[in-house]
Amino acid sequence: MFEHKTRPDWVAVEEFLTATVVHPDEALQRAVSSAVEAGMPPIEVTPNAGKFLKLLVQISGARRVLEIGTLAGFSSIWMARGLPDGGKLVTCEYLPKHADIALANVAAAGLGHKVEIRVGAALDTLAALHAEGHEPFDFVFIDADKEHNTDYLDWAVRLGRPGTVVVLDNAVWEGAVLDPSIDEANAPGIINALQVMGNHPQLDATVIQTVGSKGWDGFALARVR
């Protein structure tokens, strides 16, 4: 399994910022601990990134959020907390076990009325959402298998509207965007997605590099034109 490299000072700064500014509560801590107990990979976003997502949801005025990749519901909780009354988050999770744990975590956070977890291959779920003809999503967070990143971006645009915000996690991946040999399984999907974002006629995008407990990485941020 590919492992991110990190440095003690990166982690120390992240812990300081989390304790000083972010203040994750018991419900969020439960989501992380439940993932560990279930043997899930430790790939949820960091607390400071989670709160960043929440703030982006609020700043954008989103009422409908789409998340691709649920895991234990850590990021789902953050984003759902950014929604106004009557807001809705639909999140796609491939594994039923993960979905069950996420559902319990979301309920424990008091957000069960705002979050809908759909189980199955995300591409199937996204096609089903399109067929159902719901109103467009205002915010899309992509954090799933990198192989299908470009497909997920395509669906983000199709299920969104002009003004929809799209966030793609893991956009640097220890520098694999420059050296795909670092992770030949995931790097091609990441690189392809960034190329699509940079040239897509309906997307205005940028990428921010990050360092911390998840290593050297980053996220792409786009707005649908």
Mind listing the pLDDT tens digit for each residue in 130-139? 999 989 999 9
* Residue 53, pLDDT score: 98
The total of other beta-carbon atoms located within 10 Å of residue 185's CB is 13
The total of other beta-carbon atoms located within 10 Å of residue 40's CB is 17
Distance CA 51, CA 38 (A): 24
Taken in order of first residue, the domains within the chain and their CATH numbers are 8-224 (3.40.50.150)
**Is the predicted pLDDT of residue 19 greater than 90, yes or no?**
yes
* Residue 3, pLDDT score: 75
Mind listing the pLDDT tens digit for each residue in 176-196? 999 999 999 999 999 999 999
The terminus-to-terminus CA distance of the chain in angstroms comes to 37
- Region 114-120 average pLDDT: 98
Q: In the numeric block, which tokens belong to residue 154? A: 């395509």
Q: Characterize the bridge pairing of strands 203-212 and 64-68.
A: unpaired
Q: pTM of the predicted model, to two decimals?
A: 0.96
* Residue 207, pLDDT score: 98
pLDDT-above-90 percentage for the chain: 96
* Residue 4, pLDDT score: 83
- Region 29-44 average pLDDT: 92
- Region 102-130 average pLDDT: 97
- Region 83-87 average pLDDT: 97
**Is the predicted pLDDT of residue 1 greater than 70, yes or no?**
no
Mind listing the pLDDT tens digit for each residue in 42-73? 889 999 999 999 999 999 999 999 999 999 99
Mind listing the pLDDT tens digit for each residue in 148-180? 999 999 999 999 999 999 999 999 999 999 999
| DSSP per position, the chain | -------HHHHHHHHHHIIIII---HHHHHHHHHHHHTT--S-SPPHHHHHHHHHHHHHHT-SEEEEE--TTSHHHHHHHHTSPTT-EEEEEES-HHHHHHHHHHHHHTT-TTTEEEEES-HHHHHHHHHHHTPPPPSEEEE-S-GGGHHHHHHHHHHTS-TT-EEEEE-SSGGGTTT-GGG-TTTHHHHHHHHHHHHH-TTEEEEEEEEEETTEEEEEEEEEE-
